[in-house]
Amino acid sequence: MFKNTRFIILLLIAAILFVDCKTDPKVPDTPKEDTAPVKRTQVRIPKFERDSAYIYIEKQVSFGPRVPNTEPHQQCRDWLIEKMKSFGADVIAQDFQATAYTGELLNGTNVISQFNPEATDRIMLCAHWDSRHISDNDPNEENHTLPVMGADDGGSGVGVLMEIARNLQNTPIELGVDIIFFDLEDYGESNGPEETWCLGSQYWSRNQHRENYKPKYGILLDMVGAKDAQFTLEEISMTVAPELMRKIWKLGKGMGYGKYFVNDRTRPIIDDHYFINKIARIPTIDIINKPRTSRTGFMECWHTQCDDMTNIDKATLQAVGQTVLATVYRENNGNL
């Protein structure tokens, strides 16, 4: 995740995207009030198990920092693929190479897991699974060259989505769900060009895993595990899919998670959703811990050495996990 300062330019781009969405009938939009709900078997919303999500994060962290071109990165890649297959998903390992701002050639893999691959009505859930190569936001300058463990920044979104995948296996629905773990999100240049970030989602946006892939919307999870997280209304998300944002925040509050799903509007940020909206034109929102005021702009341990398992709070995992799980099942049931 990149703390962006050129937000006015972004706002303009987001506004252009929005205009395009409204004028091009082929571009998927947020759920329409007047669209008749699809008749599907009603499925009860399962319970999200926070301990399970926690274990999936712990496992990722146990490999070490998942920095591209390292052994822990490769090991975690293989584990993610195997685990998502074990949940019954149709898994595609999309290997690619991208050049970093440092000039290094990075080997990346987007892990794409399809549930109900034959279904035409689909939604997409995503997170990034790599961790940052440098702790360049650490208060101690001596730590700036060290890699980030990325329990929250990377690990948490993946852990929550793995628990959702496990639920999709145990409590099947008819809706098509694609869970994508993007690689190389966090190898960007601080205060550098935006294109140096989110290399995996940029690659996928230009090389999608299906012909004419048009999910109804996408939901990105990033940094969803820290204590007292605040998921605010980020500007790009509010521009491309305001109705979906309102529905999810209302759902979260209704389940007692109002402390996490707060109504503050926050500035647009460069994250995977930015490129998915811009390049793939899939209306995609970002559920991200982005308090209106904090030292880092995000959670306290953002791009520092303290982003380890001590930075993960199960109550936060429960809040976001249960809310997204309810969103998926309600979408299936036609009552989101």
Binding site for Zn ion (CB under 5 A): 1, 153, 186
- Closest approach of Cβ 218 to Zn ion, in Å? 19
Instruction: Return the amino acid letter for 201.
Output: S
Calpha distance 23→309 (Å, rounded) = 46
Least separation, in Å, of the C-beta of 1 and Zn ion?
A: 4
Decide whether 124 or 149 has the Cβ nearer to Zn ion: 149
Nearer to Zn ion, 187 or 203 (CB): 187
Q: What angle do CA 55, 61, 65 make, to 5 degrees?
A: 165
Closest distance of CB 162 from Zn ion, Å: 19
Check if the beta carbon of residue 307 is closer than 8 Å to that of residue 151.
yes
Closest CB to Zn ion among residues 87, 197: 197
Alpha-carbon separation of residue 92 from 87, 112, 179, 200 (angstroms): 14, 5, 11, 14
CA 203 to chain CA centroid, Å, is: 16
153 vs 235 by CB, closer to Zn ion: 153
Q: How far is the CB of 310 from Zn ion (least distance, A)?
A: 18
> Would you say 139 or 256 has its CB closer to Zn ion?
139
Closer to Zn ion at the Cβ: 284 or 332?
284
- The least CB distance from residue 228 to Zn ion, in Å, is 19
d(CA 311, CA 229): 11
CA distances from 35 to 8, 32, 310 (A): 34, 5, 45
Burial of 27 (0-12, 13-18, 19+ CB in 10 A): middle
Q: Do 214 and 176 form a contact (C-beta atoms < 8 A)?
A: no
Residue 186 CB, shortest distance to Zn ion, in Å, is 4
For the record, the structure tokens of 223 come out as 């940094």
